[in-house]
Amino acid sequence: SSNFPNITRLFSIGQSVQGRELWVIEISDNPGTNETEPEFKYIANMHGDETPGRELSLYLIDWLCSNYGSDTRATSLVNNTAIYIMPSMNPDGFELGQRYNANGVDLNRDFPDQFNDPNNTTYGRQPETKAVMDWSINHNFTLSANMHSGALVANYPYDGPSSGSYSACPDDDLFIRLALEYSENHPEMYNSSSFEDGITNGAEWYAVSGGMQDWNYVWEENFEITLEQSNTKWPNESLIDDLWDDNKESMVSYIEMIHTGLRGLVTDENGPIDATISVSGIDNDISNDKINGDYYRLLTPGTYSITARSIGYASETVTITINNGSAEVHNFNLSSDPNLENSDIEGFELGDFSGFEWENLGNEAWVIDGNESVEGQFSARSGSIGNNEQSILSIDIDIQEDALVSFYSKISCEPTGSQTGNYYDYLSFQIDGQEQDKWAGESGWTFREFPIQNGSHTLAWVYTKDQGVTSGQDAVWVDYIVLPSQADTDIVIGDINFDGTINILDVIALINNVLEGDLLPGTDTYTASDINGDGTLNILDIVGLVSTILGSGL
C-alpha cells in the first residue's frame, strides 16, 4: 500500500480474538471513494490451517498493483472495479496452526444460516465473523469468493440442508457458470477425477450450516462461491509459485465476471433513488447502491424480463437480452406512481391496526413489529401459533373498478420439501378465500402484486403451520399494503373515532393525530380528521372541529 498509494487503501475491519488486525486492502483507481462501479471481495484463510489462499491473495495484490498502467487486464480491473482482498480472516488460527479461531470456533460454521440459524444478527458471533458481517453490510458487494484448501474444486450454494442432496438456489444456472469460470481456467481442477468439471453444489458434496457463501447470497444479495485451491492445506513454501501459476488465471478471470450480465442506474427526476431489481422467473431480487443508484445483476446469457421497483414510484419493466461478454446497460428513470394518489396505503405507521378496519382471526392475532419494516418504522407480524394452527389478518374492501393489490412480505419459516416441494409452514395470500400464492423458507422483503376485480372482496394474509418442524423465526411479515380506491363510504367528517357522534372524544383524537403527525393520507381516519379538506392536518382542523361542536349546540 505504501508503494502504490494512488490505487490502494489498507485498513482493518476489526480485531481477532487475540487482538490481531483483520487487514483488508482496497485496490481501485480512486480508493476510499464510492464510485459508480461494482464491488468485489476475496477472503482467504478463514480456516487457519488452510494457507494457500493467504499467499495467493498476496500474489494477486502484487500482480494487480505492479501491472497497473502497463498490463491491459490489470489496468482495466483496477479502473472499473472496487476490489477488496482480505488475506487472512483467521490470523489467530494461522499462528496457532489450527482450523479454528482462538476460541475454538470454526468461522465457516458461525454465520447466520437460512436452514438452522436464520437470525441475521451479529449477536453472539465470533469477533472475526462479526467484523466481516459488519463490513459486508456496509458495502454493496456484487461478487465474491472465499479461499480454502484440502481439495481441488469450486463449490457453489446452497450448502444445506442435507448432505448428498443437490440444493439449488434460485440462481443455480448462474452459480454453475461462475464455478466453471474458475475451474475451466485451472486445468487440474477442471479435469478432476473427484468432481465433474471441477465444480460441486455445496450440499451435494456435504452439508454446511453457518457457511459464509450462503449468508452472502441469502442476506447480502452477493454472489459468492467457495474455492478449494489446493489438495494440501499447508504446502511447503517451495510450491507457492506453482500454486500461483495454477490459480492466477482463474482468480483474475473470476473477478472479470463481475462485468457481465446487466448493469445501470436507477434514478428519478432529482437523481439516484433506492430500488430493487427483479428478474422474472428468478426469485432473488437485488438492491442498487443507495448513494449512486447503480446496480449490477449477474445473469447467464439469455433474454429476461427485468423490473425496477421503488416504493412510491411506478415500476418499470423491460426485456433485455444478455450476451456473452461485457454487461448490457439499462438505466431506469422512475416516475411517481399516480395510482398511489387514489389508493389506500397501510404501512402500520400508527403502531397499531386502527388505520383500517382489520380483522385478526385464527388462533393467534397478528402483532405490530417495530424491528422489521420495508418502509417507515413498523410492519405487521404473524401471531405466535403452534402446530396445526393459523394466524390470519383480514380486511373487507369494496372497490370501484378492476385494479391491483400489492404488498411487501418477508418470510422466515420451514422451507418447502427439498425433494417433494411440499409446503409445511407458509404464508398465503387469499382473495375471497381463494389462495393466490404462497411462500415458505427464508426470503427478505419481496414485492407481491395481484389483480382484483371491482366489487366487494375479502383479502386475507394467512400464516399456516403444520404439525412438524419449526424453522427460522417461525414468522412472516407484511408491510406497505396498497389497496385500490374503494367505493364511497359514509365517512362523516369530524367523527374521528367512528362512533356515530361528534363530541369532545373526537377533539381529543384529532389533537393526537395532529401532534403525532404520522397519519397516512387516504385512510378513513385521515379523511375524517381533515376538517377543512385542505389535505393537511393542523391546528386549523382542531379549531374547525371545536367550532362545529359549539355551533351545533352539542
Residue 125 φ then ψ, to 5° = -95, 165
CA 275 vs. chain centroid, Å, equals 12
Cα 488 to Cα 524: distance, rounded to the nearest angstrom: 11
User: Are the C-beta atoms of residues 357 and 395 closer than 8 Å to each other?
Assistant: yes
Amino acid (1-letter code) at residue 178:
L
Identify the three-state secondary structure at position 393.
strand
Identify the three-state secondary structure at position 173.
helix
- Residue 492: closest CA among 540, 527, 522: 527
Angle, helices 72-80 vs 240-256, to 10°: value is 50
Task: Quickly count: other Cβ atoms within 10 Å of residue 469's Cβ.
Answer: 13
Cα 252 to Cα 60: distance, rounded to the nearest angstrom: 8
**With helix as H, strand as E and coil as C, how does 198-231 read?**
HEEEHHHHCCCCCCHHHHHHHHHCCEEEEEEEEC
- DSSP letter for each residue of 266-296: EEETTEE---EEEETTEEEEEE--TTT-EEE
Amino acid (1-letter code) at residue 470:
T
Identify the three-state secondary structure at position 90.
coil
CA 421 vs. chain centroid, Å, equals 23
Angle 109-42-159 from CA coordinates, rounded to 5°: 35
Task: Quickly count: other Cβ atoms within 10 Å of residue 235's Cβ.
Answer: 16
Cα 222 to Cα 520: distance, rounded to the nearest angstrom: 35
Beta strand pairing status for 262-268 and 294-297?
antiparallel
Active site residues: 228
Q: What is the largest CA-CA distance in the chain?
A: 99
527 burial via Cβ count (<10 Å: 0-12, 13-18, 19+): middle
- Residue pointed to by grid coordinates 463490513: 135
Beta strand pairing status for 39-44 and 141-148?
parallel
